[in-house]
Amino acid sequence: MNMITKELHTEVNKRRTFAIISHPDAGKTTITEKLLLLGQAIQRAGSVKGRGSDQHAKSDWMEMEKQRGISITTSVMQFPYQEYLVNLLDTPGHEDFSEDTYRTLTAVDSCLMVIDTAKGVEDRTRKLMEVTRLRDTPIVTFMNKLDREIRDPMEVMDEVERELNIACAPITWPISCGKSFKGVYHLHLDEVYLYQTGKGHMIQEKRVIKGLNNTELDKEIGEDLAAQLRDELELVKGASHEFDLEAFLQGELTPVYFGTALGNFGVDLMLDGLVSWAPSPSPRNSDVRVVTAADEKFSGFVFKIQANMDPKHRDRVAFLRIVSGKYERGMKMRQVRTNKDVVISDALTFLAGDREHIEQAYAGDIIGLHNHGTIQIGDTFTQGETLKFTGIPNFAPELFRRIRLRDPLKQKQLLKGLVQLSEEGAVQVFRPLISNDLIVGAVGTLQFDVVVSRLKNEYNVEAIYEPINVATARWVSSDDTKKFEEFKRKAESQLALDGGDNLTYIAPTMVNLNLTQERYPEVTFFKTREH
Ligand code: G4P
């Protein structure tokens, strides 16, 4: 092995790149903060979310987000943990939920699913899990809020198995909950970790009892509770799956941890499991070959473009996931789509929230490229090789509005702006075949406001929205030319072209979509579309 290969292997093997999937309010922000604390990237919990503080001003990029008090803390956070280097990618969650949230999941190697154990499986988690299925991403689960009255843990695990179609293997098990929450038992280590209240903002010294049958346990939590725990664990071991690394790596089984993010309890045990089991940067498919992380030549793809991160410059930053090799400052990269070579001397890294210029980065890392409108979502960058990564799709929008100009003379600018913003992934635009309407489709509501505000600032176009009766959209194609022509004729009033001129079926209701699909079995309706 030569020096470069050796260096690459070492760097790749220690990297873990993941994102958090959860329903709003399940505790994503809180757990992120505790992860940063464990990675010693912050000194005290409470500083990430501190509203109105300097930290807040530094991390909230878009003016509108500031006004609305939405805290997009950071897009990518890198921190060391044990001998590993963790890249945690933010998945915008509340009002800022968008297609970026989905697409970020195509740029990670594993996911942490956070569940509010008082509530169980919620809507957003279901949707995000569906996206992770596109790549069978390995999932680690954290059952949160054990300091509250929760539902029966066994029942919640059953719900996860049933609704998300993934086997659960408990690694830790809770001892009571709410006011009487005592801690967790670690099934693999045969150790009990005792919960201490009021220490959520710091790294705690662990209080450990070795062995489930240790009499210390009876003293600490009382004989009754100890006996109950022993009985319960017999049941749990009998009724649940054992951890199986292969099944985990295939996305078929999830290790489950219990704890409280707010109390910073159990998060460290979960992170221990995640870094040791989650895969290091995995291979990616391209139109030419499978590219592995330790390939010496640099390659990567753009999965997100963020506008106006720095209000002083109206620049956009393209987030590139490095698939293989190493980035070095000043290196030449080829943007494959345009076949242009560019020298990148000022890529950004994201060391726990600070945007910094970096000297080098490796497969699994995310770098930020300054973008003056030339980079698009899905772009591949290489060291000269012509290949294009696949699996960075557009997702069918879930919300639709008709967009209209205040000044009708600016129709051309409006279309230009919308097409560019759709290339950037900010929004999707559809033009019905039979009318001059312009329909904007998005995954989250904030995207609509972002588009109007950017149209005004960047294209000098004043636009407003009108409601429209559209429930969902599907990209359509068929191998059967004759049947497809018939479909296009009969369904013309529901067909539109998207920003890239791809034919799309615009359904007024889900029932209509189902009926149409039944009526035209030769036509395929796609929920995602490759760039
Ligand atoms: P999110 O990013 O997933 O939306 O959730 P976030 O971490 O903001 O948590 C949502 C609410 O749940 C917050 O309370 C947070 O303090 C609380 N929370 C998170 N983890 C736990 C936990 O383990 N136990 C308990 N009891 N609460 C937890 P909030 O009052 O809505 O916000 P804040 O004013 O405290 O920031």
Structural domain ending residue among the three candidates 260, 277, 294: 277
Same domain, 243 and 359: no
Question: Bridge partners of 209?
Answer: 192
Beta carbons within 10 angstroms of residue 399's beta carbon: 15
Q: State the pLDDT at residue 57.
A: 32
Count the domains in the chain.
Answer: 3
Task: Convert the pLDDT of each residue in 184-237 to its tens digit.
Answer: 999 999 999 999 988 888 888 889 999 999 999 999 999 999 999 999 999 999
Beta 110-116 vs 15-22: how paired, if at all? parallel
Task: Examine the domain organization and report whether 475 and 526 are in the same domain.
Answer: yes
Specify the amino acid at residue 140: V
Give percent above pLDDT 90 in the chain: 71
Ligand 1 centre distance from Cα of residue 109 (Å)? 26
Same domain, 341 and 403: no
CB of 101 shorter than 6 A to ligand 1:
no
Same domain, 120 and 250: yes
Ligand 1 binding pocket includes 122 (Cβ within 6 Å) = no
What is the distance between the alpha carbons of residues 371 and 392, in angstroms, rounded to a whole number? 19
Would you say residue 7 lies in a domain?
no
pLDDT at 4: 79
- Asked, for residue 6, whether it belongs to a domain, the answer is no
Q: Could you give phi then psi for residue 505, rounded to 5 degrees?
A: -95, 125
Question: What confidence category does residue 470 fall into, taking pLDDT thresholds of 50, 70 and 90?
Answer: very high
Q: Indicate whether 40 belongs to any domain.
A: yes
Using CA positions, which residue lies closest to atom 4 of ligand 1?
A: 25
Same domain, 514 and 490: yes
Residue 14 backbone class (left: φ over 0; alpha: ψ -120 to 50; beta: rest): alpha
Cα–Cα distance between 60 and 72 in angstroms, integer? 6
d(CA 254, CA 138) in angstroms, rounded, equals: 7
Per-residue pLDDT at 65? 40
CA distances from 140 to 93, 126, 254, 361, 440 (A): 19, 15, 5, 26, 35
Spell out a b/e string for 272-292, using b for 16 or more CB atoms within 10 Å of the CB, else e: bbbbebbbbbbbbebeeeebe
Q: Is the CB of 261 under 6 A from ligand 1?
A: yes
- What's the pLDDT score for residue 189? 97
- Strand 110-116, strand 316-324: pairing: unpaired
Asked if residue 416 has its Cβ within 6 Å of ligand 1, the reply is no
Is the pLDDT at 239 greater than 70? The verdict is yes
Which of these, 102, 37, 430, 470, lies nearest to 264 by C-alpha position?
Answer: 37
Q: What's 408's domain CATH number? A: 3.30.70.3280
Q: Residue 47: its pLDDT value, please?
A: 44
- Token representation of residue 327: 């980035």
Q: Are residues 114 and 203 in the same domain?
A: yes
Reported as a single tens digit per residue, the pLDDT across 72-111 is 335 888 889 999 999 999 888 787 788 989 999 999 999 9
116 Cα–ligand 1 center, Å? 10
Confidence at 511, pLDDT banded by 50, 70, 90: very high
DSSP 8-state symbol, 178: G
From the annotation, which residues make up the binding site for GTP?
Answer: 22-29, 90-94, 144-147
More confident residue, 282 or 368: 282
pLDDT over 80 (residue 326): yes
CA 445 from chain centre, in angstroms, equals 18
Query: Do 21 and 105 share a domain, yes or no?
Result: yes
**Ligand 1 mean position, distance from CA 334 (Å):** 44
**pLDDT on residue 356:** 60
Q: What is the pLDDT of residue 50?
A: 42
pLDDT at residue 350 above 70? no
Report yes or no on 3 lying in a domain.
no
| CATH number of 99's domain | 3.40.50.300
Q: How far apart are CA 273 and CA 66, in angstroms?
A: 36
The Cα-based distances of 496 to 105, 228, 347, 416, 502 in angstroms read 28, 61, 38, 17, 8
Judged by DSSP in three states, 163 sits in helix
| Domain annotation covers residue 390 | no
User: Computed over its alpha carbons, how large is the radius of gyration of the chain?
Assistant: 25
Banded pLDDT at 43 (limits 50, 70, 90): low
Residues 269 and 289 in one domain: no
Residue 51 has pLDDT above 50, yes or no: no
Q: Model confidence at 479, in pLDDT bands (50, 70, 90)?
A: very high
Per-residue confidence (pLDDT) for residue 90, from 0 to 100 = 87
Structural domain containing residue 171: 15-277
Mean pLDDT of all residues in 21-34: 94
State the CB neighbour count (10 A cutoff) for residue 12: 22
- Per-residue pLDDT, averaged over 135-162, amounts to 97
Rounded CA separation 423/451 (Å): 13
Instruction: Report CA torsion sign: 221, 224, 230, 234.
Output: negative
Label residue 64 by pLDDT band (50, 70, 90).
Answer: very low
Q: What is the pLDDT of residue 113?
A: 98
Q: Rounded CA gap, 277 and 129, in Å?
A: 19
Q: Tell me the one-letter amino acid at 307.
A: A
Residues 320 and 247 occupy one common structural domain: no
User: Is residue 268 a part of any domain in this protein?
Assistant: yes
- 17 within ligand 1 shell (Cβ under 6 A): no
pLDDT for position 45: 55
Q: For all residues of the chain together, what is the average pLDDT? A: 89
Whether 69 is covered by a domain: the verdict is yes
| Last-in-domain residue among 277, 300, 319 | 277
- State residue 215 phi and psi, 5-degree precision: -70, -20
- Could you report the per-residue pLDDT of 107-143, keeping only the tens digit for each? 999 999 999 999 999 999 999 999 999 999 999 999 9
In a domain, 116, yes or no: yes
Q: How far is CA 500 from CA 235, 413, 520, 529, in A?
A: 55, 17, 24, 11
β-pair type (393-395, 528-530)? antiparallel
Predicted confidence band of residue 355 (pLDDT cuts 50, 70, 90):
low
- Are residue 249 and residue 298 in the same domain, yes or no? no
Does the beta carbon of 23 sit less than 6 angstroms from any atom of ligand 1? no
Nearest one of 149, 131, 128, 137 to 17, comparing CA atoms: 137
> 194 and 52, same structural domain?
yes
Q: Do 357 and 418 share a domain, yes or no?
A: no
Q: What is the mean pLDDT of residues 393-404?
A: 94
CA geometry: angle 407, 411, 414, nearest 5 deg: 95
**Which of 22, 28, 30, when mutated, tests ligand 1's pocket best, judged by the most ligand atoms within 8 Å of its CB?**
30
Identify the band that residue 311 occupies on the pLDDT scale cut at 50, 70 and 90.
low
Degrees, nearest 5: CA angle 337-343-348: 95
Q: What is the ipTM of this complex?
A: 0.97
CB atoms within 10 A of CB 398: 16
pLDDT at 380 over 60: yes
Q: What is the pLDDT of residue 446?
A: 87
HEC profile for 408-447?
Answer: HHHHHHHHHHHHHHHHCCCCEEEEECCCCCCEEEECCCHH
Q: For residue 495, what pLDDT is reported? A: 98
Ligand 1 atom closest to the Cα of residue 32 is 7
Please say whether the beta carbons of 297 and 309 come within 8 A.
no
Asked if pLDDT for residue 49 goes beyond 70, the answer is no
Which range, 39-48, 195-204, 479-488, has the best average confidence (pLDDT)?
Answer: 479-488
Place of tokens 């000043």: 330
* Residue at a domain's end among 382, 416, 447: 382
Report the length, in residues, of the chain: 531
- Closest listed residue to residue 439, CA positions, set 481, 460, 467: 467
pLDDT-based confidence at 58, cuts 50/70/90? Answer: very low
